[in-house]
Homo-oligomer: A and B are copies of this chain.
Amino acid sequence: MRSIWQTGIAAAAVALQLLSAMPAAASVKGYRQANEHAILTELAGLLAIPNVASDRENIRRNADALVAMMEKRGLKPRLLESSDAKAPPVVYGEWRVAGAKRTIVLYAHYDGQPTDASQWTGSHPWKPVLRDKPLYAGGTVIPMPQPGEKIDPESRLYARSASDDKAGVMAILAAIDALKAEGRAPAANIKIVFEGEEEAGSPHLADILGRHKALLKSDGWVIFDGPAHQSGRVQVVFGARGIIGADITVYGANRPLHSGHYGNWAPNPAMELSRLLASMKDETGRVLIKGFYDDVEPLGEAERRAIAEAPQVDRELQAALGFGQPEGGGQSLLALISQPSLNIDGSKSAEVGGKARNIIPTTATATLDMRLVRGNDYRRQFDKLVAHVRAQGFYVTDREPTAEERARYPRVAQVALRDGYNAERADMDDPFARAVTDAVRHAGIGPIVNLPSMGGSLPLYVIRNTFDVPSIMVGIANHDNNQHAEDENLRLQNLWDGIEAAAGIMTMTF
């Protein structure tokens, strides 16, 4: 096996000479091919440190390990602390380039979702193992490769955060290695932000950014997080939807009533809630709340084109998810997630099935979330919801109604606001956004998917509010990575592609 390893190095060396005048990607690929074993070993070491944000001791061990990894690369690391000393720190590093007029922040997070080790199949969340293929395809554990041994790019590394998001951390650091090995410098100053509590909802991110505003000044952020597109292509995404949630409770009599003695007469809150919820959307899924779509900023030409050009995977997705008909009146998933939405997260009134009794329940509750796009304001969207509930004849309160209120009004609803924030989306025509797209597109990793926004929500507004710069997300992990669940995994080719994408972004000009 040793000879193959050496042949690889020799080939890479020849390639490096040939490609010294070419863009970074080609040579980065050579570096990576020659160093797969070292990269994989370094990543596996990082994955062996438990990384739940609330596990203060271990999360500090992660931060310390990252400081050491940055030191080794000359990135002048330091920990950026929150005003809350218990919060996981941001691990910061930088590569300043003499004469560079631009600055890019590269972001990834080193914490992972909490997980129950007993739910994992044949391995442990913080004891990384390699499998020859995915578990769902019958993959079995294979030995970690020896130095120089050829590594199948289809093999998968199983561990918590293998993909979400220590893959992002490793892609950035290995790309720096590749550039340094080549003796090349980025075109812009590079600042690195590794967050330690993204999976806990980034409760201290705004605080940390605010405390280090000057240090973190830049022309734009690139967020290495999230999966590649379902088609397998790396995706570059220019925003995320905002979100606002609400708990709606509807009230009936002040005690559960015998449905025989009082049914047809005493009001049934489960029925009233059903009617209220049904009034909110038509059969195609279009939201009927007055003015719901009014504030939406229309997508530009570039955004519409990007959606039209993205691979269509709706049919395959629907087959995998096993349902018979999507909402949306024939619009594609991508078109639909570019609009504001209203979703029922759950509903409950008394009990069902074996626990049910023949009663008229006293209350019925639904929890909703509404996703927002650019132009929406989360407080305004919530107000529209409240106005809709009023328009259906409900007296609306934001707390538990009093007995007097319940007795006085024909229909009573409590509508309680949950957390919310606005959408954030960079224009695709923004020079920084365009540069990132071009850099990933020409990174030598094949065609990419370009999307105006993801359907989910991220607090990107924190970056916009603090620095007024765009944030662009680059999703590299395999989409079937079991993100947030047990048996999280990373397909190695996705990491290799991520390294080339990161190097491409670092060397871009804009």
Contacts and interface: CB of A to CB of B under 8 A. Distances in A.
A277 B271 contact: yes
Given A267-B326, A274-B273, A344-B361, A247 B333 contact: no
Contacts of A355: 346
Size band of the interface chain A makes with B: 35 or more
Given A345-B350, A345-B356, A325 B411 contact: yes
Residue of A252, A323, A350, A412 with most chain B CB atoms under a 10 A cut-off: A323
A264 interface: yes
Contact of A258 (B314, B367, B456): B456
Interface in A267-297: 267-268, 270-271, 273-275, 277-279, 281, 283, 285
B347 A270 contact: yes
A21 to B, nearest CB: 42
Contact of A254 (B314, B322, B356, B406): B322
A481 to B, nearest CB: 14
A345 B325 contact: no
Given A270-B347, A328-B265, A260 B322 contact: no
Interface stretch (A117-125, A162-170, A335-343): A335-343
Contacts of A281: 271
A140 interface: no
A274 B454 CA distance: 28
A409 interface: yes
A339 B264 contact: yes
A324 interface: yes
A353 interface: yes
A127 interface: no
Given A243-B260, A322-B403, A323-B252, A344 B267 contact: no
What's the dominant secondary structure at chain A's contact region?
mixed
A347 B364 contact: yes
A381 to B, nearest CB: 14
A191 interface: no
A341 to B, nearest CB: 4
A260 B410 CA distance: 35
A257 interface: yes
A324 B251 CA distance: 10
A371 interface: yes
Contact of A346 (B252, B361, B412): B361
B346 A270 contact: yes
Contacts of A321: 253-255, 257, 262, 266
A470 interface: no
Residue of A328, A341, A348, A349 with most chain B CB atoms under a 10 A cut-off: A348
Nearest to A279: B278
Nearest to A283: B275
B324 A406 contact: yes
A261 B264 CA distance: 41
